[in-house]
Amino acid sequence: MLVTGGTGFVGSRLVEALLDGGHHPIVLSRKPGCAVVPGKVWTVGDLDTIPGDARIDAIVNLAGEPIANGLWTAAKRQRIIASRISMIEACQKLAQRLVVPPQVFITASAIGWYGIRGDEALDETSDGADCFSREVCLAIEQAAQRVEATGLRTVCLRIGLVLDRAGGMLGRMLTPFRLGLGGPFGTGQHWMSWVHRDDLIRLIAHCIARPDISGPVNGTAPEPVRNREFTRSLGKALHRPAFIPVPVLPLKLALGQFAEELLLGGQRVLPRKAEQSGFAFHYPALDGALTAILPRR
């Protein structure tokens, strides 16, 4: 199994799970010396260094310029899109030169594909509304379609907000909430489509194992919640008040479109395709996911 971005928040957990399952991960990382499990994982800094006779059954692409670590300047936007397209193209080039081609290519897209939406329940057949997040996901999925056109089964995993205390959005929220400074963003009415990190790893494995799955697959739990409900549940799990709202205007002034799309906007996404294929979430509801993630005190 080749995992690009295998030392990241999702990738590192996937590599651990693959090792636990008796698989042999190859990790592409910008820091090839930072193996997830030293001595057990083959790490490379460039896909061109992988020989053509290597046996790779599946490619899971999780690499790309971080989208939530700074302002969306023109240069940042270009890096976000270009890094994802170039990595998909590099994976396609590798797959085509392998003597034994892989069986499946899975690439990370995101629920940003649907744009900023209201209360409408969205599945893989739903259309999207224009915004930068959708522009990024459209570019990803169009590049993935070119991979699929070569005959390689391709899955575009439209990933939601991945929850675990080790990082991601929840990791950044824990400190202010533990200090009793947490609360909803603005009115708190926008939807948050989330997924427990371990459920996402299981869904990736499910997509690898099921040859009948291809195209877009929503990587979200079946019970999305509004932002106000999310903050209330997080405060409850941490035994802290969570009623101090984050005002909208300062966020918009400081972060611009980044705030509008990632902090103040959302979409109500449902994992229809995953559930119809028989996938069962271990953590379908938010309270259960937070209880599993956050240690009891």
State the pLDDT at residue 36.
60
Distance of CA 109 to the CA centre of its chain: 7
The structure tokens 């200090």 sit at 179
State the pLDDT at residue 122.
98
Pairing of strands 268-269, 121-122: parallel
Tell me the pLDDT tens digit for each residue of 204-263: 999 999 999 999 999 999 999 999 999 999 999 999 999 888 999 988 888 889 999 999
State the pLDDT at residue 282.
98
Query: Is residue 16 classed exposed, middle or buried when 0-12, 13-18 and 19+ CB atoms within 10 A define those classes?
Result: middle
- What separation in angstroms does the CA of 142 have from each of 28, 51, 157, 213, 288? 22, 27, 13, 18, 36
Tell me the pLDDT tens digit for each residue of 166-203: 999 999 999 999 999 999 999 999 999 999 999 999 99
Residue 297 has pLDDT above 70, yes or no: no
| Sign of the CA dihedral running 6, 25, 207, 135 | positive
Residues 137, 140, 142, CA angle at the centre, nearest 5°? Answer: 105
**Segment 147-169 mean pLDDT:** 97
CA 212, CA 25: separation in Å to the nearest integer?
23
Position 32 confidence tier, pLDDT thresholds 50, 70, 90: low
Q: How many CA atoms lie within 13 A of 68 on its CB side?
A: 15
262 contacts 68 by C-beta, under 8 angstroms: yes
Query: Is residue 139 classed exposed, middle or buried when 0-12, 13-18 and 19+ CB atoms within 10 A define those classes?
Result: middle
Distance of CA 118 to the CA centre of its chain: 21
Residue 125 has pLDDT above 80, yes or no: yes
State the pLDDT at residue 254.
84
State the pLDDT at residue 37.
62
Residues 234, 235, 238, CA angle at the centre, nearest 5°? Answer: 85
State the pLDDT at residue 40.
81
173 contacts 161 by C-beta, under 8 angstroms: no
CA 77, CA 97: separation in Å to the nearest integer?
31
Tell me the pLDDT tens digit for each residue of 49-99: 999 999 999 999 999 999 988 889 999 999 999 999 999 999 999 999 999
State the pLDDT at residue 68.
87
Averaged pLDDT score across all residues of the chain: 94
Pairing of strands 191-192, 225-226: antiparallel
What tokens does 266 get?
Answer: 């959302």
State the pLDDT at residue 70.
82
Largest Cα separation within the chain, whole Å, is 58
Residue 34 has pLDDT above 80, yes or no: no
